[in-house]
Amino acid sequence: MEHVASSLEALRSLVAGSDAAMVTFTEPSCQVGAAVEQKALALVREEFPRLDVILVDTVQVPEAAGQYEVLTIPTLVLFFAGRETARFVRTFGIDEVRQAIERPYAVMFE
């Protein structure tokens, strides 16, 4: 399921309330971020349907970037059971993301 975090409190609540979540931090002017976001959404829809996707626009919610120590865009963070398990920053491939999700997802949901 996809969610848009419109505040830091909403982001915290979404992460805390999810067994498994992928948080993408982007901004409207970032072309790479938009491409990564679309690929990540496609990956989750096709292979990991029980993973929640939380979208954060760092221009609208700059405090979220600060709180989650996001220094560059795009940043993608994986959470399982409320704990950060992987972080991908700036240049990464969707296969790296897939590999980071596979094992904890299988343990949690299969």
Q: What's the rounded mean pLDDT across residues 18-33?
A: 91
Q: Looking at the domain 2-109, which fold is it? A: Glutaredoxin (3.40.30)
Residue 84 has pLDDT above 90, yes or no: yes
- pTM for the structure as a whole: 0.92
Rounded Cα distance, 16 and 83, in Å: 9
Please state the domain extents for the chain.
2-109
pLDDT at residue 106, as a whole number = 94
Q: What's the rounded mean pLDDT across residues 19-31?
A: 92
Q: Where are the alpha helices (DSSP H) in the chain?
A: 8-16, 31-47, 62-67, 94-109
pLDDT band at residue 20 under the 50/70/90 scheme? very high
Rounded Cα distance, 26 and 48, in Å: 21
pLDDT band at residue 70 under the 50/70/90 scheme? very high
